[in-house]
Structure formats: C-alpha cells, structure tokens
A and B are shown apart, each in its own frame.
Chain A
Amino acid sequence: GEDVEQSLFLSVREGDSSVINCTYTDSSSTYLYWYKQEPGAGLQLLTYIFSNMDMKQDQRLTVLLNKKDKHLSLRIADTQTGDSAIYFCAESRDGGYNKLIFGAGTRLAVHP
C-alpha cells in the first residue's frame, strides 16, 4: 500500500518542543518530506531526508527516520506561535518521476 499516516492534531505551549510523527508503508521510498501549510496558502517544503540517513538537523528542525519501523518524525524546538500550521509528511520513490504520497496532515496549535 501507499498510505502515509499522521495524527491529526497536536497542541503545544509556546517555547516547548513539538514532535510530529508519521508512519509510511512503502519500504522502497527513497525520500521523505515535511511540508508546512499556513492558512490560505499552498504547501511549503520545510525539509527532506534521504532514506539512507537516520537524522537531519536544520536550525530548530530535527528529522528522525527509523527505516526499520517506517517511522518519521519532525521535532520543532522552541515552538513559536508562527509555527501554528498544518504539517504534512510525504514520501516519494526514485526512478520514474517524483510522485509524492501525502499524509492527511497534523494541525499544530501553539498556545501561550
């Protein structure tokens, strides 16, 4: 199957860390992505990780990949109100073309 699953909602306090989780089913996936969608806007690529990596860090963002369990997570350190958005996990496979399979998205709400 090609399902990508995410929890639908996460609420965190400003300044805390947020962890958004994702599971995927296709073991042949070579790239995994995190996109952010703010209200009224399209999707913005936050970061991606190649399947032979287990961690990638970019400023406040840390991506962890457990390929054995097909589990991907996005950690946002020092979460700010501007981080409130919907976060989509997506997978793709190499060869052919870059077809992305998206999860349903996790709505992150940051409160004071």
Chain B
Amino acid sequence: ETGVTQTPRHLVMGMTNKKSLKCEQHLGHNAMYWYKQSAKKPLELMFVYNFKEQTENNSVPSRFSPECPNSSHLFLHLHTLQPEDSALYLCASSQESGGRAYEQFFGPGTRLTVL
C-alpha cells in the first residue's frame, strides 16, 4: 500500500448503529486530519492530530469520536449519527502540522450514508 488509504470506501448505517472509519498513511508523516466533504458546504476540517496528540477539534459533535493510536493510523468512531452527517469523509496526512507549507496528502475518502 502506498500513500493514504481509507476503509471502508462506502458505508451505509442506521442512526442507531456504531461504526468506525479507518485511515492509514504509509508516508512516515506525523500529522493526520479528518475532513468532512458534503454537497452543500465547502470542505470542513474536523480534527487534527500531531504526533498522536489532538491539536484541533473544530466544534465537532460528540457523536464523532476520533482516535489516533500512532502516527500512521487514525480512526473516526461514529455513533447515533443523523442523516445530515451523510457525506464524504476524507483523511489526510502531512509531515507535521506546525506551520510552513507542508503538503497534505489525501486518501480517497469514505462515502457515508446515514439512513
């Protein structure tokens, strides 16, 4: 595997389900990000982890719970979601998140549908 991978690529879940999205980066980076891309809004940053520590929570509802066990893996745990949470969830990584123009490399995304 190379670059940033995300699984699953597609997920359909009910509002009472609990599921997790997984992201893995094979680039030796130290920062990882979750973004939400929905049809009606620009790309929204959700969470940032730098060296496994969360450095940004962009006022995300608690029904989204991130986890970063190491610099290569990032999870997004989902529970009791709403239909308006249906979107493409993108993971990204960069060398680190402290300033400079560190390019963010994106995964292909998980297309989430909440019924």
Contacts and interface: CB of A to CB of B under 8 A. Distances in A.
Interface of A: 4, 31, 33, 35, 40-45, 48, 50, 88, 90, 92, 94-100, 102-105
Given A98-B94, A105-B42, A45 B103 contact: yes
Contacts of B108: 40-42
Interface residues on B, range: 20 to 34
A105 B50 CA distance: 27
Interface string B1-18: 000100000000000000
Q: In this complex, which of B31, B41, B48, B106 has the most chain A Cβ atoms within 10 angstroms of its Cβ?
A: B106
A97 B55 contact: yes
B99 interface: yes
B97 A4 contact: no
A104 B100 contact: no
Nearest to A99: B45
9 contacts: A41-B109, A42-B107, A42-B109, A45-B104, A48-B101, A88-B43, A96-B98, A97-B99, A105-B43
Contacts of A97: 31, 48, 50, 55-56, 97-99
Contacts of A94: 99-100
Given A45-B105, A97-B48, A104-B42, 16 more contacts: A4-B42, A40-B108, A42-B90, A42-B108, A45-B103, A48-B103, A50-B101, A94-B100, A96-B98, A97-B55, A97-B98, A98-B31, A98-B100, A98-B104, A100-B104, A102-B42
A31 to B, nearest CB: 5
Given A42-B4, A42-B90, A102 B99 contact: no
A39 B16 CA distance: 30
B31 to A, nearest CB: 8
A103 to B, nearest CB: 6
